Amino acid sequence: MAALRTIVTVALVLICIALTVLILMQEGKSNGLGAIAGSSDTYWSKNKGRSMEGMLVKVTRILVIVFMILSCVLNIGSFA
């Protein structure tokens, strides 16, 4: 059981590092002064889900879900 706990802990640390890198790679949500003039509705903003930025958001969501599940598993294991 100790080996499984070590493997889950190592996986959790690796996911933490990956999440940190992914979050730092993403662009900010602010549009700057361009949003005042209405120039924020461009082709790039409409198709952002199919771009690299959209993929980063999806991967980040998946890793956050896995992070939460592994955290719960480690917490449940500490009570047993």
pLDDT in tens, 32-48: 555 555 555 555 556 66
Q: How far apart are CA 61 and CA 38, in angstroms?
A: 29
Per cent of the chain over pLDDT 90 is: 46
Per-residue 3-state assignment (H helix, E strand, C coil) for 26-63: CCCCCCCCHHHHCCCCCHHHHCHHHCHHHHHHHHHHHH
- Give yes or no for residue 52 having a pLDDT over 90: no
pLDDT at 28: 75
- Give yes or no for residue 66 having a pLDDT over 90: yes
Question: What is the average per-residue pLDDT within 67-71?
Answer: 95
- Give yes or no for residue 79 having a pLDDT over 90: no
Domain definitions of the chain by residue range: 49-80
